[in-house]
Amino acid sequence: MIVLVNDGRPGGCNRGDTAAFTRGERSEVIAHELGHNLFRLGDEYHNDTRNFVGVRGEANLTEQPATWAALKWGALVAAGTPLPTDPAALPGGWNNRTSVGAFEGGGANFSTGIFRPVLECRMNQNDPPWCPVCGQEIDRIMGAF
Amino acid sequence: MENTKHDTRQANRRGSRHLRVGLEISPAGVRVASMWAVDQPSVQSARLVEPILARIDLATRPVLVEAFADPRVTRGTFRKDLGHSYGVEQSGVVHVSVPFDDLRQLAEVRIRVLDASNAGLGATEPVGVAALFDSPPDSVRVIGDVDTASLRKHPDWLKVAAALVPADPGRFEIYLDRAGEYRWRFRRASGECVADSGQGYASREACENDVRWVRSHAPSSPVVSLDLLEGTRC
């Protein structure tokens, strides 16, 4: 459920299955929030240094898999891509938005123990478009309708 | 490929319509907060990611399982270099779907709600989540449940019933009586006659005129309670 507030100032919040936005909120921010609300995507950013322990259900986040061959978005990883992927040693021709690997850090609070698929995505920095992994999940969910 | 998508859409749909039920989750459990009818099927999500789980049963059979972010947690919109901010409230509302095809199915609704925040389930498919409700593990907390009786006690139930129960359209009939005169009568959809012209008309046009008059005037006509006037006999 989405509530639009007739206020020119930016703002909004989410609770359960309800999201509220002002008309002054940026469309990129609203798109990020709808990534959570409609498609159950996780935050790909992290601003804390905690270690994640557990299982991540979101399509765009994962705990360290038992083997990298079992990576949940493995079908979108190009052959020869190192897993996990080091942002400081990217393969030639790497595109930060569309090339898929497994970068450590994400889920808002965790710098270790959790992996995200790309360096730049709407679920990380707002302004980039959704990455291939998020796009695939959006397509899968929308397919039900 | 297109057929596969179509089949997936059909397989995920539940019921032809659904009740949307707002459930308030608080330390006291679960209570019905709101309710309305939606003239669309429910959709069963193939993967359930969020920690607040709801199973909807009709006549003791599970028909839908849903997952929600914890409604007691407020998440502020994303801000660059800051991320989200969070706050925790005492209570919050989630909206579950109760799919149905026939109104009679709503006579035996049960909605159960669990909190799996500490269970570390990850993404779970619906059959696995539905089974959790039969014997919840210790890591899953039972929040509460509501049933048809709880739904009926809520003031929105009357509005829902009015929206869902089809209006009886009834019909006017014009016919020739044994004397060869035209008459009209009004029947319910069930066939029962509830009003008639009380007289024959020499022409069809005169009969039609009175049908038109009744149709246009009856909705706004007052009800005069002659039976309540002392000594009145008609």
Cβ within 8 Å, pair B77-A29: yes
Q: Are residues B134 and B193 in the same domain?
A: no
Residue of higher predicted confidence among B80 and B25: B25
CATH number at residue B204: 3.30.160.160
| Nearest chain B CA: its distance from A53 CA (Å) | 9
Q: Are residues B136 and B219 in the same domain?
A: no
Give the C-alpha separation, A58 to A130, whole Å: 14
Give the C-alpha separation, B29 to B22, whole Å: 14
Query: Residue B107: which pLDDT band, with cuts at 50, 70 and 90?
Result: very high
Chain A interface mutation, best of B30, B45, B78, B129, highest count of A Cβ atoms under 10 Å: B78
Q: What percent of chain B has pLDDT over 70?
A: 92
Q: Which of these three, B145, B164, B183, is where a domain ends?
A: B164
Name the most confidently modeled range: A15-19, A97-101, B49-53, B80-84.
Answer: A97-101
Map residue B231 onto helix, strand or coil: coil
- In order of A70, A80, A106, A125, B56, the CA distances from A119 in angstroms are 21, 18, 11, 9, 40
Residue of higher predicted confidence among B206 and B165: B206
DSSP symbol at A93: T
Cβ within 8 Å, pair B94-A54: no
Q: Are residues B49 and B160 in the same domain?
A: yes
Whether B187 is in a domain gets the answer: yes
- Would you say residue A31 has pLDDT above 60? yes
CB B210 within 8 A of CB B197: yes
> How many contacts, defined by CB atoms under 8 Å, are there between A and B?
96
Whether B127 is in a domain gets the answer: yes
Q: Are residues B119 and B140 in the same domain?
A: yes
Q: B182 lies in which domain range?
A: 171-228
Q: Are residues B52 and B129 in the same domain?
A: yes
What is the arithmetic mean of pLDDT over B34-38? 95
Whether B234 is in a domain gets the answer: no
What is the arithmetic mean of pLDDT over B85-97? 93
Q: Are residues B143 and B88 in the same domain?
A: yes
Whole-prediction pTM: 0.74
Q: What percent of chain B has pLDDT over 90?
A: 65
- In order of A29, A76, A121, B88, the CA distances from A72 in angstroms are 26, 9, 17, 32
Q: What percent of chain A has pLDDT over 90?
A: 82
Whether B123 is in a domain gets the answer: yes
Q: What pLDDT does residue A87 have?
A: 97
Whether B233 is in a domain gets the answer: no
| Nearest chain A CA: its distance from B193 CA (Å) | 45
Q: Are residues B159 and B181 in the same domain?
A: no
CB A52 within 8 A of CB A58: no
Tell me the backbone φ, ψ of residue A112, rounded to 5 degrees. Answer: -135, 160
Cβ within 8 Å, pair A47-B83: yes
What is the arithmetic mean of pLDDT over B114-139? 89
- Out of A91-95, A111-115, A127-131, B116-120, least confident range: B116-120
Q: Which of these three, B164, B184, B204, is where a domain ends?
A: B164
Q: What pLDDT does residue B223 have?
A: 84
Q: Are residues B29 and B138 in the same domain?
A: yes
Nearest to A43 among B70, B83, B124 (CB): B83
Q: What pLDDT does residue B200 have?
A: 96
Q: Which of B96, B95, B27 is nearest to B57 (CA)?
A: B96
Q: Which of these three, B135, B164, B193, is where a domain ends?
A: B164
CATH number at residue B112: 2.60.40
Query: Residue B234: which pLDDT band, with cuts at 50, 70 and 90?
Result: low
The total number of structural domains that make up chain B: 2
Tens-place pLDDT, residues B171-222: 899 999 999 999 999 998 778 899 999 999 999 999 999 999 999 998 888 8
User: ipTM surpassing 0.85, yes or no?
Assistant: no
Q: Are residues B138 and B176 in the same domain?
A: no
CB B78 within 8 A of CB A29: yes
CB B138 within 8 A of CB B116: no
Task: Find where tokens 């005037």 sit.
Answer: B217
Q: Which of residues 116-135 of B touch A (CB under 8 A)?
A: 120-124
What is the arithmetic mean of pLDDT over A110-118? 97
What is the arithmetic mean of pLDDT over A27-35? 92
What is the arithmetic mean of pLDDT over B19-33? 96
CB A59 within 8 A of CB A131: no
Q: Are residues B208 and B139 in the same domain?
A: no
Q: What pLDDT does residue B122 have?
A: 73
Tens-place pLDDT, residues B128-156: 999 999 999 999 999 999 999 999 999 99
Cβ within 8 Å, pair A17-B71: yes
